[in-house]
Amino acid sequence: MSEWNGFGNLDLSDVEAGKGGRLSEGEHTVRSADAQMETLDANRKRLRVTFNSVDGGGDIRHDFFLMHPNDTAVRIGKEKLKSFLINARHPNPDKPGDVATLNGLECKIIVGMGKPYTDQEGNQRQRTEIKTWRPSAQTAGAEAKADDLDDAIPF
């Protein structure tokens, strides 16, 4: 335990700034990281991806269920994964291959409030979640440049 000598003597020069915490509601430009497949049990597998704000404002994690007893959970998981891959300009959104290819992809996300739930202690909770993915300025710019190449040159 450190000694307290008052706020006037506080020295933070050897302390790194904390991360921004969980991303708040709104639009954020993010980069994907730590993508990994997780086996929860014999019937459930998920892809877990962390999305870090490019401005250092925080992060948010998203789970894409790719195997689950509930077919709707799998359909939604695959639809959201494909949306992420397309908007982040993954080189092969239909067959992404190695999970490592998901790390470092940039896109925009729209964050909103998730459904309320009751935690293990019986408290009502609600937290932010990714609602949708959009192209970032970087990925939208790449698309615009490709469109510029398809001009009507008469020769």
* Residue 107, token pair as written in the block: 């896109």
Tokens 């739930």 found at: 117
* Phi-psi map region of 36: left, alpha, beta (phi>0 left; psi -120 to 50 alpha): beta
Spell out the domain ranges in the chain.
20-114+126-143
- CB distance 19 to 56 below 8 Å: yes
Residue 143 clears pLDDT 60, i.e. is over it = no
Residue range 80-114, pLDDT digits in tens? 999 999 999 999 999 999 999 999 999 999 999 99
pTM tops 0.85, yes or no = no
Give the Cα separation of 19 and 108 in Å (integer).
19
- CB distance 22 to 50 below 8 Å: no
pLDDT category at 2 given cuts 50, 70, 90 is: low
Query: Any idea what DSSP says for residue 150?
Result: S
